Amino acid sequence: MTRPTGDDLVEVLAALANPLRLRIVATLAGGRDYVSHLAREIGISRPLLHMHLQRLEAAGLVVGSLELSEDGKAMKYYEVADFDLRLTASTLAEAARTLTDPEKGPGRKERSR
Amino acid sequence: MTRPTGDDLVEVLAALANPLRLRIVATLAGGRDYVSHLAREIGISRPLLHMHLQRLEAAGLVVGSLELSEDGKAMKYYEVADFDLRLTASTLAEAARTLTDPEKGPGRKERSR
DNA sequence: TTCATGTGTAAGAACTTTCTGACATGTGAA
DNA sequence: TTCACATGTCAGAAAGTTCTTACACATGAA
Protein backbone atom coordinates (compact mmCIF):
# COMPACT_ATOMS: atom_id res chain seq x y z
CA MET A 1 0.00 0.00 0.00
CA THR A 2 2.31 2.75 -1.26
CA ARG A 3 1.84 5.07 -4.21
CA PRO A 4 -1.83 4.35 -4.80
CA THR A 5 -3.69 5.89 -7.70
CA GLY A 6 -5.40 9.20 -7.10
CA ASP A 7 -8.79 7.62 -6.65
CA ASP A 8 -7.47 4.93 -4.34
CA LEU A 9 -5.77 7.57 -2.26
CA VAL A 10 -8.99 9.55 -1.94
CA GLU A 11 -10.75 6.40 -0.78
CA VAL A 12 -8.08 5.61 1.78
CA LEU A 13 -7.99 9.15 3.13
CA ALA A 14 -11.77 9.30 3.31
CA ALA A 15 -11.77 6.02 5.21
CA LEU A 16 -9.32 7.39 7.76
CA ALA A 17 -10.86 10.83 8.01
CA ASN A 18 -13.25 9.83 10.77
CA PRO A 19 -12.60 9.64 14.51
CA LEU A 20 -14.43 6.38 14.95
CA ARG A 21 -12.66 4.64 12.10
CA LEU A 22 -9.34 5.96 13.33
CA ARG A 23 -10.15 4.43 16.69
CA ILE A 24 -11.12 1.16 15.03
CA VAL A 25 -7.84 0.94 13.17
CA ALA A 26 -5.96 1.90 16.31
CA THR A 27 -7.71 -0.80 18.30
CA LEU A 28 -7.10 -3.45 15.66
CA ALA A 29 -3.46 -2.40 15.58
CA GLY A 30 -3.31 -3.86 19.06
CA GLY A 31 -4.49 -7.24 17.81
CA ARG A 32 -7.17 -8.84 15.70
CA ASP A 33 -10.70 -9.02 16.99
CA TYR A 34 -14.16 -10.10 15.95
CA VAL A 35 -17.00 -7.73 15.26
CA SER A 36 -19.26 -8.12 18.28
CA HIS A 37 -16.39 -7.96 20.72
CA LEU A 38 -14.83 -4.98 19.01
CA ALA A 39 -18.15 -3.17 19.11
CA ARG A 40 -18.36 -3.63 22.88
CA GLU A 41 -14.71 -2.64 23.21
CA ILE A 42 -15.19 0.65 21.42
CA GLY A 43 -18.66 1.23 22.75
CA ILE A 44 -20.71 1.48 19.58
CA SER A 45 -23.51 -0.57 18.07
CA ARG A 46 -22.67 -3.62 16.01
CA PRO A 47 -24.40 -2.45 12.82
CA LEU A 48 -22.54 0.82 13.02
CA LEU A 49 -19.23 -0.93 13.45
CA HIS A 50 -20.14 -3.23 10.59
CA MET A 51 -20.61 -0.22 8.33
CA HIS A 52 -17.31 1.33 9.31
CA LEU A 53 -15.44 -1.92 8.86
CA GLN A 54 -16.89 -2.22 5.37
CA ARG A 55 -15.55 1.19 4.51
CA LEU A 56 -12.12 0.39 5.96
CA GLU A 57 -11.97 -2.93 4.18
CA ALA A 58 -13.04 -1.41 0.88
CA ALA A 59 -10.14 1.00 1.24
CA GLY A 60 -7.79 -1.90 1.92
CA LEU A 61 -6.94 -0.80 5.44
CA VAL A 62 -8.29 -3.80 7.28
CA VAL A 63 -8.89 -7.39 6.28
CA GLY A 64 -11.72 -9.57 7.51
CA SER A 65 -11.98 -13.32 7.59
CA LEU A 66 -14.90 -15.45 8.60
CA GLU A 67 -13.86 -18.24 10.91
CA LEU A 68 -15.61 -20.92 12.91
CA SER A 69 -15.01 -20.82 16.64
CA GLU A 70 -14.57 -24.07 18.59
CA ASP A 71 -18.18 -24.01 19.69
CA GLY A 72 -19.32 -23.72 16.10
CA LYS A 73 -20.19 -20.03 15.94
CA ALA A 74 -19.31 -18.02 12.86
CA MET A 75 -16.93 -15.27 13.90
CA LYS A 76 -15.73 -12.50 11.64
CA TYR A 77 -12.23 -11.50 12.57
CA TYR A 78 -10.65 -8.30 11.39
CA GLU A 79 -7.04 -7.20 11.43
CA VAL A 80 -5.16 -4.22 10.07
CA ALA A 81 -3.60 -4.52 6.64
CA ASP A 82 -0.06 -3.47 5.87
CA PHE A 83 0.08 0.08 4.68
CA ASP A 84 2.58 2.89 4.70
CA LEU A 85 1.44 6.13 3.13
CA ARG A 86 3.46 9.28 2.95
CA LEU A 87 1.70 12.55 2.39
CA THR A 88 3.64 15.51 1.10
CA ALA A 89 2.89 18.10 -1.54
CA SER A 90 4.86 16.04 -4.07
CA THR A 91 3.36 12.66 -3.32
CA LEU A 92 -0.08 14.24 -3.51
CA ALA A 93 0.76 15.98 -6.75
CA GLU A 94 1.84 12.70 -8.21
CA ALA A 95 -1.24 10.87 -7.06
CA ALA A 96 -3.44 13.64 -8.41
CA ARG A 97 -2.15 12.93 -11.90
CA THR A 98 -4.04 9.64 -11.90
CA LEU A 99 -7.36 11.04 -10.76
CA THR A 100 -10.16 10.06 -13.09
CA ASP A 101 -11.60 12.96 -15.00
CA PRO A 102 -15.18 13.77 -13.95
CA GLU A 103 -15.90 14.26 -17.67
CA LYS A 104 -15.89 11.24 -19.94
CA GLY A 105 -14.34 9.06 -17.20
CA PRO A 106 -16.13 6.00 -15.80
CA GLY A 107 -19.41 7.12 -14.36
CA ARG A 108 -19.65 8.57 -10.86
CA LYS A 109 -18.78 5.36 -9.02
CA GLU A 110 -16.16 2.98 -10.24
CA ARG A 111 -17.39 -0.46 -11.23
CA SER A 112 -16.41 -3.59 -9.34
CA ARG A 113 -15.59 -3.80 -5.69
CA MET B 1 3.18 19.28 10.25
CA THR B 2 4.18 15.92 11.67
CA ARG B 3 2.59 13.96 14.51
CA PRO B 4 -0.58 16.00 14.73
CA THR B 5 -3.18 15.33 17.39
CA GLY B 6 -5.92 12.87 16.56
CA ASP B 7 -8.42 15.59 15.80
CA ASP B 8 -5.97 17.56 13.70
CA LEU B 9 -5.18 14.44 11.75
CA VAL B 10 -8.83 13.81 11.05
CA GLU B 11 -9.19 17.35 9.81
CA VAL B 12 -6.16 17.05 7.53
CA LEU B 13 -7.28 13.71 6.13
CA ALA B 14 -10.80 14.97 5.57
CA ALA B 15 -9.38 17.97 3.75
CA LEU B 16 -7.37 15.75 1.42
CA ALA B 17 -10.06 13.11 0.94
CA ASN B 18 -11.60 14.86 -2.02
CA PRO B 19 -10.57 14.72 -5.66
CA LEU B 20 -11.02 18.42 -6.23
CA ARG B 21 -9.02 19.42 -3.20
CA LEU B 22 -6.31 16.94 -4.10
CA ARG B 23 -6.14 18.60 -7.50
CA ILE B 24 -5.99 22.02 -5.91
CA VAL B 25 -3.07 21.05 -3.70
CA ALA B 26 -1.38 19.40 -6.66
CA THR B 27 -1.80 22.50 -8.78
CA LEU B 28 -0.51 24.79 -6.05
CA ALA B 29 2.46 22.45 -5.60
CA GLY B 30 3.47 23.67 -9.07
CA GLY B 31 3.52 27.26 -7.86
CA ARG B 32 1.44 29.81 -6.00
CA ASP B 33 -1.61 31.25 -7.65
CA TYR B 34 -4.52 33.58 -6.96
CA VAL B 35 -8.08 32.45 -6.60
CA SER B 36 -9.72 33.58 -9.84
CA HIS B 37 -6.89 32.31 -11.97
CA LEU B 38 -6.74 29.00 -10.13
CA ALA B 39 -10.47 28.56 -10.60
CA ARG B 40 -10.10 28.98 -14.38
CA GLU B 41 -7.08 26.70 -14.35
CA ILE B 42 -8.92 23.87 -12.66
CA GLY B 43 -12.22 24.57 -14.34
CA ILE B 44 -14.52 25.16 -11.39
CA SER B 45 -16.50 28.13 -10.14
CA ARG B 46 -14.83 30.68 -7.96
CA PRO B 47 -17.20 30.31 -5.00
CA LEU B 48 -16.61 26.58 -5.06
CA LEU B 49 -12.87 27.00 -5.12
CA HIS B 50 -13.15 29.53 -2.33
CA MET B 51 -14.92 26.97 -0.17
CA HIS B 52 -12.35 24.28 -0.84
CA LEU B 53 -9.46 26.62 -0.15
CA GLN B 54 -11.04 27.52 3.18
CA ARG B 55 -11.14 23.88 4.12
CA LEU B 56 -7.54 23.32 3.06
CA GLU B 57 -6.36 26.40 4.88
CA ALA B 58 -8.24 25.44 8.04
CA ALA B 59 -6.41 22.13 7.93
CA GLY B 60 -3.10 23.93 7.55
CA LEU B 61 -2.37 22.51 4.11
CA VAL B 62 -2.31 25.75 2.19
CA VAL B 63 -1.64 29.34 3.18
CA GLY B 64 -3.30 32.36 1.69
CA SER B 65 -2.15 35.95 1.63
CA LEU B 66 -3.95 38.98 0.34
CA GLU B 67 -1.71 41.11 -1.81
CA LEU B 68 -2.12 44.18 -3.93
CA SER B 69 -1.19 43.80 -7.57
CA GLU B 70 0.63 46.60 -9.36
CA ASP B 71 -2.59 47.91 -10.84
CA GLY B 72 -4.14 48.13 -7.39
CA LYS B 73 -6.35 45.04 -7.45
CA ALA B 74 -6.63 42.91 -4.33
CA MET B 75 -5.35 39.42 -5.14
CA LYS B 76 -5.50 36.49 -2.80
CA TYR B 77 -2.55 34.23 -3.37
CA TYR B 78 -2.40 30.70 -2.08
CA GLU B 79 0.52 28.34 -1.76
CA VAL B 80 1.01 24.90 -0.26
CA ALA B 81 2.20 24.69 3.31
CA ASP B 82 5.02 22.43 4.43
CA PHE B 83 3.72 19.11 5.57
CA ASP B 84 4.96 15.56 5.74
CA LEU B 85 2.57 12.99 7.14
CA ARG B 86 3.24 9.33 7.46
CA LEU B 87 0.33 6.95 7.76
CA THR B 88 0.91 3.51 9.19
CA ALA B 89 -1.01 1.43 11.67
CA SER B 90 1.31 2.64 14.44
CA THR B 91 1.26 6.34 13.60
CA LEU B 92 -2.52 6.16 13.41
CA ALA B 93 -2.73 4.28 16.69
CA GLU B 94 -0.65 6.94 18.33
CA ALA B 95 -2.70 9.78 16.91
CA ALA B 96 -5.90 8.04 17.98
CA ARG B 97 -4.80 8.30 21.59
CA THR B 98 -5.30 12.05 21.46
CA LEU B 99 -8.78 11.96 19.96
CA THR B 100 -11.23 13.96 22.03
CA ASP B 101 -13.80 11.81 23.74
CA PRO B 102 -17.32 12.30 22.32
CA GLU B 103 -18.53 12.15 25.94
CA LYS B 104 -17.66 14.99 28.27
CA GLY B 105 -15.19 16.47 25.74
CA PRO B 106 -15.73 19.86 24.07
CA GLY B 107 -19.03 19.81 22.23
CA ARG B 108 -19.45 18.48 18.72
CA LYS B 109 -17.40 21.18 17.01
CA GLU B 110 -14.22 22.51 18.54
CA ARG B 111 -14.25 26.20 19.39
CA SER B 112 -11.97 28.68 17.65
CA ARG B 113 -10.58 28.29 14.17
C1' DT C 1 -38.19 -24.32 23.67
C1' DT C 2 -35.83 -20.45 25.21
C1' DC C 3 -31.72 -17.84 26.00
C1' DA C 4 -27.28 -15.99 24.91
C1' DT C 5 -24.07 -15.76 21.63
C1' DG C 6 -22.52 -14.89 16.88
C1' DT C 7 -23.52 -13.19 11.81
C1' DG C 8 -25.75 -9.90 8.10
C1' DT C 9 -28.94 -6.32 6.20
C1' DA C 10 -32.53 -2.76 5.44
C1' DA C 11 -35.26 1.58 6.33
C1' DG C 12 -35.30 6.09 7.77
C1' DA C 13 -33.85 10.23 10.46
C1' DA C 14 -30.34 13.69 11.15
C1' DC C 15 -26.60 15.82 9.81
C1' DT C 16 -22.73 17.29 6.66
C1' DT C 17 -20.66 18.18 2.28
C1' DT C 18 -20.71 19.78 -2.26
C1' DC C 19 -22.15 22.79 -5.76
C1' DT C 20 -24.74 26.63 -8.41
C1' DG C 21 -26.40 31.02 -8.98
C1' DA C 22 -27.11 35.27 -7.17
C1' DC C 23 -25.55 39.39 -4.81
C1' DA C 24 -22.28 42.98 -2.99
C1' DT C 25 -17.72 45.14 -2.65
C1' DG C 26 -13.48 47.16 -4.74
C1' DT C 27 -9.87 48.73 -8.50
C1' DG C 28 -8.02 50.75 -13.13
C1' DA C 29 -8.80 51.60 -17.93
C1' DA C 30 -11.72 52.83 -21.98
C1' DT D 1 -20.27 55.83 -16.84
C1' DT D 2 -19.35 51.36 -18.16
C1' DC D 3 -16.41 47.42 -18.63
C1' DA D 4 -13.23 43.91 -17.06
C1' DC D 5 -11.08 42.15 -13.51
C1' DA D 6 -10.37 41.08 -8.56
C1' DT D 7 -12.44 39.98 -3.78
C1' DG D 8 -16.13 37.96 -0.47
C1' DT D 9 -20.69 35.87 1.04
C1' DC D 10 -25.34 33.91 1.13
C1' DA D 11 -29.39 30.69 0.16
C1' DG D 12 -30.93 26.53 -1.35
C1' DA D 13 -30.76 22.12 -3.92
C1' DA D 14 -28.65 17.68 -4.30
C1' DA D 15 -26.03 14.13 -2.72
C1' DG D 16 -23.41 11.70 0.66
C1' DT D 17 -22.36 10.17 5.52
C1' DT D 18 -23.48 8.66 9.98
C1' DC D 19 -26.31 6.44 13.22
C1' DT D 20 -30.46 3.86 15.42
C1' DT D 21 -33.78 0.52 15.40
C1' DA D 22 -35.59 -3.48 13.76
C1' DC D 23 -35.49 -7.51 11.31
C1' DA D 24 -33.41 -11.97 9.48
C1' DC D 25 -30.45 -16.11 10.12
C1' DA D 26 -27.38 -19.68 12.75
C1' DT D 27 -25.15 -22.17 16.84
C1' DG D 28 -24.63 -24.38 21.69
C1' DA D 29 -26.21 -24.61 26.36
C1' DA D 30 -29.84 -24.54 29.96
CA A82 to C1' C6, whole Å: 27
Residue B111 placed within a domain: no
Residue A11 placed within a domain: yes
Q: In 10 A of CB A15, how many CB atoms?
A: 24
Q: What is the mean pLDDT of residues A3-30?
A: 97
Does residue A89 surpass a pLDDT of 50? Answer: yes
Range B68-77 burial, b when 16+ CB lie within 10 A, else e? eeeeeeeeeb
Residue A51 placed within a domain: yes
* Contact check, Cβ <8 Å, B86/A90: no
Question: Average model confidence (pLDDT) for chain B?
Answer: 90
Q: Is the CB of A52 under 7 A from strand D?
A: yes
Range B9-43 burial, b when 16+ CB lie within 10 A, else e? bbbbbbbbbbbbbbbbbbbbbeeebbbeebbeebe
User: Which residues of B are less than 8 Å from A17 in CB distance?
Assistant: 10, 13-14, 16-17
CA B38 to C1' C8, whole Å: 47
Q: What is the mean pLDDT of residues A16-42?
A: 98
Q: Domain range for residue B62?
A: 6-91
SS (H, E, C) A15-73: HHCCHHHHHHHHHHHCCCEEHHHHHHHHCCCHHHHHHHHHHHHHCCCEEEEEEECCCCC
Q: Is the CB of B37 under 7 A from strand D?
A: yes
Residue B83 placed within a domain: yes
Looking at this predicted complex, what is its ipTM? 0.89
A85, A92, A98: which to substitute to probe chain B, counting the most B Cβ within 10 Å? A92
User: Which residues of A are less than 8 Å from B10 in CB distance?
Assistant: 16-19, 22
**CATH assignment of the domain containing A49:** 1.10.10.10
Going edge to edge, which strands form the sheet with B33-34?
A: B33-34, B74-80, B62-68
Residue A113 placed within a domain: no
* Nearest nucleotide by C1' position to the B19 CA atom: C18
Q: Which of B22, B86, B89 lies at the smallest CB-CB distance from A99? A: B22
Lowest mean pLDDT, pick from A25-29, A71-75, B7-11, B83-87: A71-75
> Domains in chain A: how many in total?
1
Residue A27 placed within a domain: yes
Q: What is the mean pLDDT of residues A29-34?
A: 98
Residue B58 placed within a domain: yes
Residue A37 placed within a domain: yes
Confidence bin at A2 (pLDDT 50/70/90): confident
A16, A25, A41: which to substitute to probe chain B, counting the most B Cβ within 10 Å? A16
